[in-house]
């Protein structure tokens, strides 16, 4: 741990953070970047900052995510000001820069670091939120969409090309099965078979979009409820975070990913598959928070939402399984076989969503 202490001391100096470095905590959620809170001894009570090491394997061009995040947060800040928001500091992220204007600092150990404001008196939920929090998650992502409805998408970089191109994800998955780099395919026969049998569902959203009835909007693309900060005492949504994958996309994926994650009756890597299912009430809660905030949603786009839940769940199952087959190079894992456990969990969830899809469509 000594080495991280000195890295944080270096970062505090580089970004000229207020006060001297006191200590840090690890924020365990997040499968890609490493996130910490860093405390300094400024004035009484001290200061806390959010410090992140950007995963350079996943985001090989960190300048592009910085450019996107700056553009988006600036835009949201302006929208909040226009709406007369009194507490802007807690409603949108702010990134710090070094004296030479850089938002990324390359530490002496080679890491790519950024510093973000820590939203005071806030909390987040890593799985199974209450119905009220689920509805507020819907409101948060609905407002996010609303704020960005007039954002110029042509200024955004595609930080991960084809991020929610499910058909491409399916092809990468079957490619991983064929290559079987680590000789693991034999241990995932049933899962591979199921995903291959669901091939058609991977193109649901693309097919709907090709009819012209689904808009390409600026979307978040990673709408887990732990990517929303809530007021710790009221549970009201404050800010949407984790903006690295904000890109042009379809709301079916944002809607679907939020329901996939927080509507699961178990956590994303639950081993006891009998605990995994879709809570239809949570689906309803999210929809009631999200849909009324969107503008200009046509019938086809509305229909795409429940399908998005199934497609994005299958997509993530295929990503976890492909990563397992490729030797766990993308998602952080906590133990051997973690990605296979995650894939099995998403598959169990997808099977339940398949059963509930008619009811989900009726509800919307
Ligand atoms: C990753 O970084 P995090 O945990 O918010 C991933 C998402 C997955 C998610 C699954 C850039 O998100 O696409 O849905 O894990 N982000 C990236 O938990 O690949
Ligand atoms: Mg995240």
Predicted local distance difference test score (pLDDT) of residue 128: 87
Residues in contact with ligand 1 (CB, 6 Å cut-off): 30-32, 58, 222, 224, 227, 242, 245, 268, 316
Per-residue pLDDT of the chain (364 residues; tens, 9 = 90+): 557 999 999 999 999 999 999 999 999 889 999 999 999 999 888 999 999 999 999 999 999 999 999 999 999 999 999 999 999 999 999 999 999 999 999 999 999 999 999 999 999 999 889 999 999 999 999 999 999 999 999 999 999 999 999 999 999 999 999 999 999 999 999 999 999 999 999 999 999 999 999 999 999 999 999 999 999 999 999 999 999 999 999 999 999 999 999 999 999 999 999 999 999 999 999 999 999 999 999 999 999 999 999 999 999 999 999 999 999 999 999 999 999 999 999 999 999 999 999 999 999 8
- Integer Cα distance of 327 and 323 in angstroms: 6
The secondary element (H helix, E strand) that includes residue 36 is: strand 34-40
Tokens 């410090």 sit on residue: 51
Residue 268 sits at the vertex; the CA angle it makes with 60 and 170, to the nearest 5 degrees, is 55
As a whole number of angstroms, the distance between CA 190 and CA 158 comes to 34
- Looking at the CA of 342, which ligand is closest? 1
What is the rounded distance in angstroms from the CA atom of residue 159 to the CA atom of residue 244?
A: 7
| C-beta of residue 74 within 8 angstroms of C-beta of residue 252 | no
Ligand 2: centre distance to CA 362 (Å): 31
Contact by Cβ (8 Å): 148, 237: no
Structure tokens at 228: 């929303």
**Ligand at shortest distance from the CA of 57:** 1
pLDDT at residue 45, as a whole number: 85
Q: In this predicted structure, what is the pLDDT of residue 2? A: 56
Task: Dig out the tokens for 109 from the structure.
Answer: 């150990």
Within 10 angstroms of residue 106's Cβ, the number of other Cβ atoms is 12
pLDDT, residue 82, reads 97
Measured distance CA(75)–CA(72) in Å, rounded:
5
Which ligand 1 atom minimizes the distance to the CA of 55? 11
Predicted TM-score of the model (pTM): 0.96
- Site to probe by mutation for ligand 1, drawn from 27, 29, 30, 31 as the one with most ligand atoms within 8 Å of Cβ, is 31
**Cα(239) to centroid(ligand 2), Å:** 13
User: What atom of ligand 1 comes closest to residue 59's alpha carbon?
Assistant: 11
Distance between CA 108 and CA 338 in Å, rounded?
31
In this structure, the strands spanning 228-231 and 237-240 are: antiparallel
Output the pLDDT for position 55.
97
Cα separation, 318 vs 192, in Å, equals 8
224 CA from centroid of ligand 2 (Å): 7
Task: List the residue whose alpha carbon is closest to atom 7 of ligand 1.
Answer: 222
Q: 278 by DSSP, 3-state: which?
A: strand
Determine the distance separating the centroid of ligand 2 and the alpha carbon of 69, expressed in angstroms: 14
Q: In angstroms, rounded to a whole number, what is the distance separating the alpha carbons of residues 71 and 75? A: 6
Report which of 91, 93, 125 is spatially closest to residue 258, judged by C-alpha positions: 125
Q: Which residue has the tokens 């390409």?
A: 216
């Amino acid at each position: 741990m000594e080495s991280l202490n000195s890295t944080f001391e270096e970062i505090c100096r580089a970004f000229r953070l207020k006060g001297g470095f006191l200590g840090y905590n690890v924020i365990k959620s997040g499968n890609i970047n490493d996130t910490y809170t860093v405390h300094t001894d400024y004035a009484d009570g001290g200061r806390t900052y959010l410090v992140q090491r950007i995963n350079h394997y996943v985001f090989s061009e960190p300048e592009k995510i910085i450019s996107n995040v700056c553009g988006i947060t600036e835009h949201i800040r302006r929208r909040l000001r226009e709406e007369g928001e009194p507490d802007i500091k807690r409603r949108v992220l702010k990134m710090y820069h070094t004296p030479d204007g850089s938002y990324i600092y390359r530490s002496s150990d080679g890491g790519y670091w950024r510093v973000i404001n820590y939203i005071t008196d806030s909390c987040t939920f890593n799985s199974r939120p209450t119905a009220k929090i689920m509805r507020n998650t819907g409101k948060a992502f609905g407002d996010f969409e609303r704020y960005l409805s007039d954002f110029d998408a042509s200024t955004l970089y595609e930080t991960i090309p084809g991020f929610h191109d499910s058909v491409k994800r399916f092809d990468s998955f079957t490619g991983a099965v064929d290559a079987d780099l680590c000789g693991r395919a034999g241990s995932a026969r049933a899962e591979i078979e199921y995903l291959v049998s669901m091939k058609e569902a991977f193109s649901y959203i693309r097919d709907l979009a090709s009819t012209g009835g689904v808009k390409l909007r600026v979307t978040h693309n990673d709408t887990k409820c732990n990517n929303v900060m809530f007021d710790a005492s009221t549970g009201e949504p404050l800010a949407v975070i984790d903006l690295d994958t904000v890109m042009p996309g379809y709301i079916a994926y944002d809607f679907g990913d939020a329901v996939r994650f927080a509507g699961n009756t178990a956590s994303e890597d639950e081993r006891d598959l009998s605990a995994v299912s879709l809570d239809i009430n949570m689906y309803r809660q999210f929809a009631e928070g999200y849909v009324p905030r969107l503008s200009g949603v046509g019938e086809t786009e509305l229909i795409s939402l429940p399908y998005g839940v199934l497609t994005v769940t299958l997509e993530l199952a295929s990503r976890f399984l492909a990563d397992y087959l490729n030797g766990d190079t993308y998602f952080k894992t906590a133990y051997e076989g973690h990605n296979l456990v995650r894939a099995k969990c998403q598959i169990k969830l997808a099977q339940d969503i398949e059963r509930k899809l008619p009811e989900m469509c009726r509800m919307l």
